[in-house]
Structure 1
Amino acid sequence: MNFKNQIAFLKELQKNNSKDWMDANRKWYKQVRDEYIGWLNSMNTRLATIDNEYYDTPGKKGINRINNNLMFHPNKPVYKDHFGAGFDKKPKTADFYFELGTDRCIFAGGLWRPESKVLRSIRDAIDYDGEELVKILNKKSFKTRFGDLYEDAKLTNAPKGFDKDHKHIELLKNKTFAVFQEFSTKETNKASFDDELINACKEMLPFRRYLNKAITV
């Protein structure tokens, strides 16, 4: 899909981030949103063919609201500056996330600051079989595509119940277990982009499966 229409809309929204502007351009918004949902639907179908555990997530269920939550973040603009959506959104598991912005696109997956019980399960898995996660993270093709784990807040000391000299102590200190790949808008508009995204999903599958096994077993 060519995202030029979506990007053009987002650029104008950034310059005119108000309910009045949105109301005046509601027809344009519905058009770009419907096109985006159509693309999400096609990707949802393709993703189901590469993973027999894939959780069906049609575009309308995967797409995020464009409105910011002003109740908890009153200083944010009325509307977001991107279109976001999730794939494989089985409740209480790691999922894929796609974000289309005006100058870049982000494809991510994993768990962002999970609740304490889930985080403890991941740490227990690392304690039991951390070598498997290290192997996944250090695989050359994985590292080339995603780099390291997403940089987020980490504990200064060892988590409660784990030794400070644990061989996987740096992994255990993480509060977020996620990775991402960034694409330019030029890349997103290439005919080969959908295939590239599918390849990224395939590369990320072992990582997500490790996390999901940790929090469901």
Structure 2
Amino acid sequence: MNFKNLLTFLKELQQNNNKEWMDANRKRYMAVRNDFIGWLDDMNLRLAAIDDEYYDTPGKKGINRINNNLMFHPNKPVYKDHFGAGFDKRPSTGDFYVEIGIEQGMFAGGLWRPDPKRLKSIREAIDYNGEEFKKILKQPSFKKTFGGLYEDEKLKKAPKGFSNDHPHIDVLRNKTFAVATMFSSRELLKPGFEDLVIQMYKEMLPFRRYLNQAVLMEESL
């Protein structure tokens, strides 16, 4: 994968963020996109080799659209300033997300503001065995890598059905159960970036498995 070409394309796209420029550079965009999809396919195989429960996610299924959704965010630019894709994208669960931007990229995973049903499942799992969840969050390497849960809106009071003095109330009030860490374009261009992807996947796996088992168990009932 020639990430330099990808970054160069993104830089020029942000300087000319309009449909006319994209139409004129469509072949170039497709070449970069196809190159990225090929890289995703390779990483898909590598991740499947280290995780027996991995959900096969070929590049074309994992890659995100480069267009912003202007229907819900009319003030955003027409095109995103990054290429993003998910791995291990089992339906209804939280995937492992990789984003490659101009100056920096991101590894992320978990569930961003899940719907009420999945949110309830996660809270019930924490109510039943929150010690295990907190043990994952407090692992030294995990804490060093991700810091903690992604900071997002929280309930001011306990969720319905839980008391304010619940031993895990600090976690239960979250609306988002996800983690993220950034990486620089310099790291992206270094030899062995793929090894970093695998390292981040492994580090995040116990966290994602806990959440995904919670939502999948509810779906099976």
By the TM > 0.5 criterion, same fold?
yes
Range of TM-score over shorter length: over 0.9
Residue 19 of structure 1 is matched in structure 2 by 19
Residue 55 of structure 1 is matched in structure 2 by 55
1:176 aligns with 2:176: yes
Contiguous gaps of at least 5 residues in structure 1: none
Once the two structures are superposed, residues 184-204 of structure 1 have per-residue CA deviations (whole angstroms, 9 ceiling, x without a partner) of 000011111110110110111
Letter aligned with residue 205 of structure 1: L
Residue 108 of structure 1 is matched in structure 2 by 108
Distance 1:128 1:193 in 2: 38
Q: How does 1:4-15 map to 2 (within 5 A)?
A: 4-15=4-15
Q: How does 1:38-187 map to 2 (within 5 A)?
A: 38-187=38-187
Residue 207 of structure 1 is matched in structure 2 by 207
User: How many residues in Structure 1 have an aligned counterpart in Structure 2?
Assistant: 217
TM-score under structure 2 length normalisation: 0.96
1:29 aligns with 2:29: yes
Distance 1:35 1:11 in 2: 17
Distance 2:170 2:89 in 1: 28
Letter aligned with residue 97 of structure 1: Y
Letter aligned with residue 116 of structure 2: S
3-state secondary structure, aligned to 1:187: helix
Letter aligned with residue 46 of structure 2: R
Distance 2:29 2:64 in 1: 14
Distance 2:170 2:194 in 1: 35
Identical positions, percent: 68
Q: Which runs of 4+ in 1 moved over 4 A?
A: none
1:196 aligns with 2:196: yes
Once the two structures are superposed, residues 37-92 of structure 1 have per-residue CA deviations (whole angstroms, 9 ceiling, x without a partner) of 01101100001011111111000110011111112222211111111111111100
RMSD value over aligned CA atoms? 0.8
Task: Give the superposition deviation at 1:2.
Answer: 3.9
Letter aligned with residue 160 of structure 1: K
Distance 1:150 1:49 in 2: 28
